[in-house]
């Protein structure tokens, strides 16, 4: 599958105390095959349906790096070997747009373990994109370069 762009929405809300107004509870990361990257972090704000933008960033990474990320995500999606869904942690939503405009997606839990060819995708994306405290798929096994 040839991917034009991917959007990963990480929702950090889980069981426990209610988040504070200014606590980041959701991240949206979009990566295009050209290397353009868009990031938005949302704070809890006034409640579950009233998040407010806390931070945002647009940047570029090398086209080859972006295409490698999209290739790994394509392999992961096509494998259908998705991580089990659990209810006591946050969740992620993966939205793919193919080069011919088809849109597909999958959801999972922020437990990490999104691995392709022995590469942890959370770590790989964190190392490829200079944004502090990226959640991506949760977990990660290596150093968080930009955290």
Query: What confidence score (pLDDT) does residue 102 get?
Result: 97
Give the Cα separation of 121 and 24 in Å (integer): 22
The answer to whether residue 140 is domain-embedded is no
Structure tokens at 22: 């200014």
Residue 108 within any structural domain of the chain:
yes
Residue 141 belongs to some domain of the structure: no
Q: Give the angle subtended at the CA of 1 by the CAs of 38 and 68, to the nearest 5°.
A: 50
pLDDT tens digits, one per residue of 117-146: 999 999 999 999 999 999 999 976 544 443
Domain that holds residue 91: 3-128
CATH number of the domain within which 61 lies? 3.30.1560
CA distance 107 to 58: 24
- Give how many domains the chain has, as a whole number: 1
Tens of pLDDT along 1-18?
Answer: 999 999 999 999 887 788
The alpha carbon dihedral of 77, 80, 81, 84 has a sign of: positive
Task: Report the residue count for the chain.
Answer: 147
pLDDT at 112: 87
Flag whether the pTM goes above 0.85: yes
């Amino acid at each position: 599958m040839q991917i034009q762009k991917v959007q990963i929405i990480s929702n950090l809300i889980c069981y426990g105390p209610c988040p504070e107004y200014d606590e980041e509870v959701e991240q949206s990361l979009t990566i295009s095959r050209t290397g353009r990257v868009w990031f938005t972090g949302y704070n809890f704000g006034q409640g579950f349906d009233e998040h407010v933008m806390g931070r945002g960033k647009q940047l570029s990474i090398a086209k080859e790096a972006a295409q490698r990320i999209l290739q790994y995500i394509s392999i992961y999606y096509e494998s259908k070997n998705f991580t089990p869904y659990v209810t006591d942690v946050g969740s992620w939503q993966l939205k793919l747009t193919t080069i011919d405009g088809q849109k597909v997606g999958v959801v999972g839990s922020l437990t990490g373990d999104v691995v392709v060819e022995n590469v942890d995708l959370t770590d790989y994306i964190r190392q490829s994109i200079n944004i502090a405290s990226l959640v991506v798929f949760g977990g990660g096994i290596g150093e968080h370069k930009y955290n």
